[in-house]
């Protein structure tokens, strides 16, 4: 079976103020449907960069990235848009909620962008992350952990085949963290979603089938 996510010899460099930072080098990784992989490693080792390349937020300087059979470097704009809208869910490290939309509207956004509505699904996710009483609030009126839970609900609402989550429990207490893990795991088991997480959370990493350590832009140990 074709992997849902495939990275082959991926490299990424950033040029800033005359200096070049190698953020990733020779990263090769395969993820099957229903698999959960945790990326761990010190700050700056390339976890977010890897996630950004998988979600198509950023493009590699070398190597190939394929998601759900789509070659991200060669696909046209329409194919990329459809892939992002329907197949991929992203939890950003800095949340990126839309400030002028309520909790409810933020969570419904992936469906709305695809011309869909599913009030029951939106309400279910909001309640599962413990925010039913905050559903009409704006992001600026929420705590960091509450914003993070909105970001998780938004990433899962459209039942994506690939979920890319950057420290999704980084701001949460253990009970909220467990609720987030349960939601992720449910999507994986029920829908066969593939999950890639960057995390420092031992409980979250322990739930993954594979924990991949990164250092200085490289994956350590046997890959894929
Ligand atoms: N936009 C950018 N411009 C220049 N350098 C960048 C940029 N984004 C990331 N980097 C550099 O690339 C390297 C990898 O960054 P990345 O954000 O992937 O690390 P990380 O493992 O997610 O770290 P953290 O645990 O702190 O989130 C770092 O050295 C960082 O300084
Ligand atoms: Mg990061």
Quick check: CB of 44 below 6 Å from ligand 1? yes
Quick check: CB of 170 below 6 Å from ligand 1? no
- Whether 39 is covered by a domain: the verdict is yes
**Number of domains the chain contains:** 1
Quick check: CB of 11 below 6 Å from ligand 1? no
Whether residue 65 is predicted with pLDDT greater than 70 in this model: the reply is: yes
Region 89-113: what's the mean pLDDT?
Answer: 96
Three-state SS sequence of the chain: CCCCEEEEEEEEEEEECCEEEEEEEEEEEEECCCCEEEEECCCCCCHHHHHHHHCCCCCCCEEEEEECCEECCCCCHHHHHHHHHHCEEEECCCCCCCCCCCHHHHHHHHHHHCCCCCHHHHHHHHHHCCCHHHCCCCHHHCCHHHHHHHHHHHHHCCCCCEEEEECCCCCCCHHHHHHHHHHHHHHHHHHCCEEEEECCCHHHHHHCCEEEEEECCEECCCCC
User: How many whole angstroms from 29 Cα to the centroid of ligand 2?
Assistant: 18
Query: Across the strands, what pairs with 14?
Result: 21
Q: What is the CATH number of the domain that holds 112?
A: 3.40.50.300
- Whether 170 is covered by a domain: the verdict is yes
Region 15-37: what's the mean pLDDT?
Answer: 94
User: How many whole angstroms from 175 Cα to the centroid of ligand 2?
Assistant: 23
- pLDDT digit string, tens, across residues 209-219: 999 999 999 99
Q: Is the pTM of this model over 0.85?
A: yes
Quick check: CB of 20 below 6 Å from ligand 1? no
Whether residue 221 is predicted with pLDDT greater than 80 in this model: the reply is: no
- Whether 149 is covered by a domain: the verdict is yes
Neighbours of 92 (CB within 10 A): 21
- Whether 10 is covered by a domain: the verdict is no
Q: How much is the pLDDT for 224? A: 55
Region 184-201: what's the mean pLDDT?
Answer: 93
Whether residue 111 is predicted with pLDDT greater than 60 in this model: the reply is: yes
User: How many whole angstroms from 213 Cα to the centroid of ligand 1?
Assistant: 16
pLDDT bin (cut points 50, 70, 90) of residue 94 is very high
- Whether 4 is covered by a domain: the verdict is no
Domain that holds residue 159: 32-57+76-219
- Whether 17 is covered by a domain: the verdict is no
- Whether 116 is covered by a domain: the verdict is yes
- Whether 123 is covered by a domain: the verdict is yes
What percent of the chain is predicted at pLDDT more than 70? Answer: 99
């Amino acid at each position: 079976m074709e992997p849902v996510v495939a990275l082959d010899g991926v490299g990424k460099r950033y040029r800033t103020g005359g200096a070049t930072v190698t953020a990733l080098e020779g990263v090769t990784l395969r993820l099957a449907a229903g698999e959960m992989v945790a990326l761990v490693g010190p700050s700056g080792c390339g976890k977010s960069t890897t996630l950004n390349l998988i979600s198509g937020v950023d493009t590699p300087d070398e190597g190939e990235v394929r998601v759900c059979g789509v070659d991200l470097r060669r696909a046209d704009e329409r194919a990329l848009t459809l892939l992002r809208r329907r197949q991929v869910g992203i939890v950003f490290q800095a949340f990126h909620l839309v400030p002028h939309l309520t909790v409810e509207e933020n969570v419904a956004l992936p469906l709305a962008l695809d011309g869909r509505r599913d009030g029951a699904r939106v309400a279910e996710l909001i309640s599962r992350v413990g925010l039913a009483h905050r559903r009409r609030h704006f992001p600026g009126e929420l705590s960091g952990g509450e914003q993070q839970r909105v970001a998780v609900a938004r990433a899962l609402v459209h039942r994506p085949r690939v979920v890319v989550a950057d420290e999704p429990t980084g701001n949460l207490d253990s009970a909220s963290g467990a609720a987030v893990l349960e939601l992720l795991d449910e999507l994986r088991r029920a829908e066969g979603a593939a999950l890639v997480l960057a995390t420092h959370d031992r409980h979250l990493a322990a739930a993954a089938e594979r924990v991949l350590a990164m250092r200085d832009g490289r994956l350590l140990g046997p890959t894929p």
